[in-house]
Structure 1
Amino acid sequence: MKIRKIISAILTMSVMSACIIPIAEADGLYSEKFDMTKVKADKTDGVTKEVEVPDGDYTVTVTTGGKTETNANIYINGGERVRAYTLEAGETQENEQPVVPKNGKITVQVKGDNPNVTEIEIEQLPTREKAEKPTIYIAGDSTAQTYNYTKVYPQTGWGQVFADYFNDDIIIENRAMGGRSSKSYDNDGRLDRILTEMHPGDYVFIQFGINDGAENKPERYISVEDYKKLITDKYIGEVEKRGGTPVLMTANAAAWWDEENNCFMESRKDYADPTREIAEETGCKFIDENKIVTDAWNSMSKNRVLSGYFICEPLESKAYPSGTNDTTHMKAKGAKRVAKLIADAIPENVPELAKYLKGDETFTDIQGHWAEDVIKTLAENDKVSGVGDGKFNPDGTVTRAEFLKMAMDSLGIVGHAYRDGECLDATNDDWYCYYLQGALDKDIIPKEMIENCNVTKVTKTLAEATDDKEAVTTDVNVYTGKFDGDKPITREEMAAIAVRCKNYKMRRLTDWDNERRYPIFSFKDSDEIDEKYISDVVEAYNLNYIDGMEDGRFAPKENLTRAQAAVVMNNLK
């Protein structure tokens, strides 16, 4: 027999009077729709509904729209969930939000010049059983978030690449979002979404502290005292209530250099120290990311560390064409370093997750291979990766685009944001367009490798003029022709790209005299090397970037293998 339970609801209207409405709880789950068409909105506070509900997780649906134009924004439990929007007369919109009750109540407030609230529906969600696979949710800020590479590459958050360090027996859900503090993340409903989706046995990694102290941004700012209470009561407490495991983290370290002490200084102490206190007081699982990263940075060279941060030269990032000097956010290289440091800290700090880690990548198909040691060393330093299923495929061929990326990454040469119509036959959908565009701008690719190559110089605007600043422009080359990035690269083409990458890195770009002849007596087949590549092969050989074959040949026309490419990468460093 179904039980119907009566609970009171308080509807606050323009005159602040209250009316009692019966609410049904069917099959043990609370559910009710409220007709709001006769409720007059207050000019300041709009329409507010406060409902006492049983403990649990909920979905709240607010429907707006009517015969007149609608202007509304929606708040739930004090946080703005749906920012101001407009509907034309006759249009309606359903806004569904996940909600965790606050002090046993759900409060819905709809503001705006004409909110036109027609209905509010509150539905309790069923409890969830343990899932087949556990999930790690990441609740955090811009240092962890996933970025849209088509817009802001190479900016990358550590949460974006965190899954690379885990096996397939666990799911990684990166819910970090830029510009969020612990307060605004909660007010946005992002934490409620995690809480209403998670299953017993799941994990929530909690990383804030960069934006929480922004006193000039009240939507973000939260005092240290309130920060500790919010993290303890909701982020930790509500996760544990649902059978999950919260993992508290200090904020990621910034690359702030201490000139006096010649080291990277400790950063984000204002909220890192209170976070450490919370971990001590609650016994919550804890990873001191800030300290781990700072210690790691101080074991590396300054330039190597900074190469992983979002410090961009002009044209490198589409979102910041004039360049950036950002020592808070990261490029993919830095994000991978941080993600690996966090993963490496798991066995000690969250040991039950250790079984899901991949560990150091080892390849099953390189044992006994002549390049085994080099491949292992490069893999350990994240300089090369496999082809999947634990394999490296050392004797497989390498494409032009693949080798270009390998060489540029190995030497720390950045690419440039793809420019439509200026990057040969590449499109924005080609994974290598960032590298190809940069290589073209830096004269790394021999023109002989480009079919029907044509170069035109144009003046490009990097930043439009403003009231107080002039426009920023630069001269760039527009390249037309065919690179054919998916074509296997030959050994002589490899030599040309390798030597140009190294020369660019050493700032000693050379204009070669194509009429010169360079005899290569070391190779039996030196006469088979195309004269357009011979100068590059000579220099690459003399600088020990490349080697010949065991039989004394250079084999210039043979396709480069992945093992040979790995050796070249090792020699270029």
Structure 2
Amino acid sequence: MCPLLSLIIAVILGLSVHGQTVYLAGDSTMARGGGGSAAPGTDGWGQYLGQYLTVPVVNRAIAGRSSRSYTDEGRFDALLNTVRPGDFVIIEFGHNDGMSGNVDNGRQCAFGDGYNTTATVSNSAGQSLVIHTFPYYIQNAVVAIQAKGAIPIISSQTPSNDWSNGRIVAGPRFVGYAQTAANRTGATYVDHYAYVAQAYNKLGQTATTAFYPGDHTHTSPAGANVVAQAFMRGILCGNSSLKSKANSAGQSVPNGCL
């Protein structure tokens, strides 16, 4: 039997046994409890996504993680051991992936978007480590998810509460890196940054600032719900098959396509 036919059969059988599940891989902006004790009163948008879908959502986002540390800690491997054909996996990193200075923090990625680009860094013990770029870690995860017959969705990071001239500032380089990884792998891309910025710009700076009780990164539950709605708007305006799983609330989220 040819590999493609085997994969198709596996997807059909998998769906008939367990239905579909949406898994989330990301950082504190997506995770249960948001920033945790460092940012009390916050929550991640992943906790609010399920109310807009007809399929269950399992939130595997962890505060403080980057594409690199989520990989190095074996969390993508754990996801791969769990997902089944037909499941969705939404991947969203970026807030913790930037350079950390002279001492490696275990999260930073090599600068640039080349898959084969590396950097050598030193940890607190003086040991040298080779690290890779953001697209490298994301693309490897996506390819492995696709090999399982699951459906990856690469989402750009969410905006922080940063404004210039009454508008949310332009996204950092990891927004473009996320799109690059999606283009290279054929995965669906959701410009979550842009859709959240659209919602925030419409609400205005004063109303949006109320969503950030402790810092400029972590949202209150109300803010997290706005961010979840923005992700659903990105899904509805894109080509992912996840749009067919939107319930009536999901189909009615505010704002339009970009």
Shorter-chain TM range is 0.7 to 0.9
Per the alignment, residue 128 of structure 2 pairs with none
Q: What SS does the corresponding residue of 2:109 show, helix, strand or coil?
A: coil
Per the alignment, residue 231 of structure 1 pairs with 138
Q: What SS does the corresponding residue of 2:144 show, helix, strand or coil?
A: helix
Per the alignment, residue 352 of structure 1 pairs with 241
Among candidates 179, 184, 188, match of residue 73 of structure 2: 188
Per the alignment, residue 64 of structure 2 pairs with 179
Per the alignment, residue 197 of structure 1 pairs with 82
Give the C-alpha shift of residue 148 in structure 1. 8.5
Does the 8 Å CA contact 2:51/2:250 hold for their aligned counterparts? no
Give the C-alpha shift of residue 246 in structure 1. 0.7
**Is 1:219 aligned to 2:219, yes or no?**
no
Deviations 1:365-412 (A, max 9, x none): xxxxxxxxxxxxxx988xxxxxxxxxxxxxxxxxxxxxxxxxxxxxxx
Counterpart-to-counterpart distance in 1, 2:83 and 2:100: 32
Q: What SS does the corresponding residue of 1:156 show, helix, strand or coil?
A: coil
Counterpart-to-counterpart distance in 2, 1:239 and 1:361: 25
Kindly report structure 1 stretches of 4+ aligned residues shifted beyond 4 Å.
148-153
Unaligned 5+ segments in structure 1 are 1-127, 312-323, 363-378, 382-573
> Closer, same or farther in 2 for the Cα pair 1:358/1:271, shift >3 Å?
same
Among candidates 156, 171, 192, match of residue 43 of structure 2: 156
Counterpart-to-counterpart distance in 2, 1:166 and 1:197: 20
Give the C-alpha shift of residue 289 in structure 1. 0.5
Counterpart-to-counterpart distance in 1, 2:153 and 2:72: 21
Counterpart-to-counterpart distance in 2, 1:150 and 1:276: 29
**Is 1:277 aligned to 2:162, yes or no?**
no
Counterpart-to-counterpart distance in 2, 1:228 and 1:281: 9
Q: Which amino acid counterpart does residue 204 of structure 2 have in structure 1?
A: S
Two-structure CA RMSD over aligned residues (Å): 2.5
Deviations 1:85-109 (A, max 9, x none): xxxxxxxxxxxxxxxxxxxxxxxxx
Show the 5 A alignment for 1:47-196: 129-130=14-15, 131-147=17-33, 154-167=41-54, 170-196=55-81
Among candidates 288, 298, 316, match of residue 191 of structure 2: 288
Q: Which amino acid counterpart does residue 164 of structure 1 have in structure 2?
A: Q
Give the C-alpha shift of residue 350 in structure 1. 4.2
Q: Structure with the greater relative contact order (CA < 8 A, sep ≥ 6): 1 or 2? A: 2
Q: Which amino acid counterpart does residue 205 of structure 2 have in structure 1?
A: K
> Closer, same or farther in 2 for the Cα pair 1:346/1:304, shift >3 Å?
same
> Closer, same or farther in 2 for the Cα pair 1:274/1:380, shift >3 Å?
closer
Counterpart-to-counterpart distance in 2, 1:208 and 1:358: 26
Higher-strand-fraction structure: 1
Counterpart-to-counterpart distance in 1, 2:93 and 2:34: 21
**Is 1:262 aligned to 2:151, yes or no?**
no
User: Please, what TM-score do these two structures have when normalized by structure 1?
Assistant: 0.36
> Closer, same or farther in 2 for the Cα pair 1:249/1:361, shift >3 Å?
closer
> Closer, same or farther in 2 for the Cα pair 1:279/1:339, shift >3 Å?
same
Q: What SS does the corresponding residue of 1:304 show, helix, strand or coil?
A: helix
Counterpart-to-counterpart distance in 2, 1:153 and 1:164: 23
Q: Which amino acid counterpart does residue 275 of structure 1 have in structure 2?
A: A
Number of corresponding residues: 218
Counterpart-to-counterpart distance in 1, 2:253 and 2:92: 27
Structure index of larger Rg: 1
Higher-helix-fraction structure: 2
Counterpart-to-counterpart distance in 2, 1:380 and 1:143: 20
Counterpart-to-counterpart distance in 1, 2:64 and 2:36: 20
Per the alignment, residue 129 of structure 2 pairs with none
Per the alignment, residue 7 of structure 2 pairs with none
Give the C-alpha shift of residue 347 in structure 1. 2.4
User: Please, what TM-score do these two structures have when normalized by structure 2?
Assistant: 0.77
> Closer, same or farther in 2 for the Cα pair 1:341/1:361, shift >3 Å?
closer
Deviations 1:100-128 (A, max 9, x none): xxxxxxxxxxxxxxxxxxxxxxxxxxxx9
Does the 8 Å CA contact 1:133/1:171 hold for their aligned counterparts? no
Q: What SS does the corresponding residue of 1:205 show, helix, strand or coil?
A: strand
Does the 8 Å CA contact 1:137/1:203 hold for their aligned counterparts? yes
Q: What SS does the corresponding residue of 1:206 show, helix, strand or coil?
A: strand
Q: What SS does the corresponding residue of 1:204 show, helix, strand or coil?
A: strand
Does the 8 Å CA contact 1:250/1:276 hold for their aligned counterparts? yes
> Closer, same or farther in 2 for the Cα pair 1:274/1:137, shift >3 Å?
same
Q: What SS does the corresponding residue of 1:248 show, helix, strand or coil?
A: strand
- What percent of counterpart residues are identical? 27
Does the 8 Å CA contact 2:28/2:34 hold for their aligned counterparts? no
Counterpart-to-counterpart distance in 1, 2:157 and 2:179: 11
Q: Which amino acid counterpart does residue 335 of structure 1 have in structure 2?
A: A
Counterpart-to-counterpart distance in 1, 2:232 and 2:168: 22
Q: What SS does the corresponding residue of 1:327 show, helix, strand or coil?
A: coil
> Closer, same or farther in 2 for the Cα pair 1:150/1:229, shift >3 Å?
closer
Show the 5 A alignment for 1:364-375: none
Q: What SS does the corresponding residue of 1:281 show, helix, strand or coil?
A: helix
Q: What SS does the corresponding residue of 1:146 show, helix, strand or coil?
A: coil
Does the 8 Å CA contact 2:166/2:205 hold for their aligned counterparts? no
